[in-house]
Amino acid sequence: MSKIEFKNVRKVFEGGLSVLNGVNLSIENGESHIILGQSGCGKSVLMKCLLGIFKLSEGDIIVDDLSVNDREHRKEYVKKFSVLFQGNALFDSMTIIENVEFGANQVCKDKIKCKEIAKEKLLAVGLEERVFNLYPAEISGGMQKRAALARAISLSPEILLFDEPTSGLDPITGGIICNLLKDTVKSLGVTSITITHDLKVAEFLSDRVSVLNKGVLTWTGHADDMKNCGNAFVEHFYKASNIILKK
């Protein structure tokens, strides 16, 4: 469990594209926070800034007492996080269990213990032993998501990041994965940040929601209050999410 503080975070890419324009946000210990926003608004960039993958152009991100800008304590900072990436990021040339062992190996050097951790985590996310020795391409998208989650939790993180956890999944499988994420976060007692453009996911998983618009967090609050929050963009986003498309 960790507290996360974004302080005036700016990210400008080479060539001058300004993606994050002063993000301020405090996420509490054990909170399940959602970052909601349109495609291309900078959600994944924000996550990569948090992880230190992208260097901040300005500002700071403090996790507990460590800064993302502090290169000396880099390892300690990075160890706090585990990520479920948008495309799962499983290694194609490794079996499912090898993928999870690879994760476990980041925190445990004993090979036999890593295998035990991998088995335990795969079973915890609902994968049966028959898929352990298959390759990612041989299992369904929902199973891949479970395997990626097993690898993420095998690192014993304090913070779990989920980038578009339901993208590419049918609504039923997406719902099952959402339930699994919620149960996992609860049972591990971690702080979590979920990035999504799906309002239903936000409503289901969140303690609080932040809405990102053109690189600025325009609103933070409870999902139930989005509808009438007084912020034109947030209300527009809410309404657009509930439109039933007509022929």
Ligand X SMILES: Nc1ncnc2c1ncn2[C@@H]1O[C@H](COP(=O)(O)OP(=O)(O)OP(=O)(O)O)[C@@H](O)[C@H]1O
Distance between CA atoms of residues 139 and 31, nearest Å: 32
Report the nearest approach of Mg ion to the CB of residue 44 (Å). 3
Is 43 an interacting residue with respect to ligand X (CB under 6 A)? yes
Is 88 an interacting residue with respect to Mg ion (CB under 5 A)? no
Q: Which of 42, 103, 142, 157 binds ligand X (CB under 6 A)?
A: 42
**3-class SS of residue 3:** coil
User: What mask of x and - would describe binding to ligand X in positions 45 to 74, judged by CB under 6 A?
Assistant: x-----------------------------
The H or E element spanning position 209 is strand 208-213
* Residue 87 near which of ligand X, Mg ion, none (CB within 5-8 Å, type-dependent): none
Residue with Cβ nearer ligand X (37 or 142): 37
The H or E element spanning position 184 is helix 171-188
How would you classify residue 104: left for phi > 0, otherwise alpha for psi between -120 and 50, otherwise beta?
alpha
Is 184 an interacting residue with respect to ligand X (CB under 6 A)? no
Which 188-227 residues touch ligand X, going by CB under 6 A? Answer: 197
57 is written with which tokens?
């152009």
Residue 190 amino acid letter: V
Is 41 an interacting residue with respect to ligand X (CB under 6 A)? yes
Render the burial of 172-207: b for 16+ CB within 10 Å, e for the rest.
ebbebbbebbeebbeebebbbbbbbbbbbbbbbbbe
Which 42-61 residues touch Mg ion, going by CB under 5 A? Answer: 44
Is 210 an interacting residue with respect to Mg ion (CB under 5 A)? no
Site residues (vs ligand X, CB under 6 A)? 13, 17, 19, 37, 39-45, 197
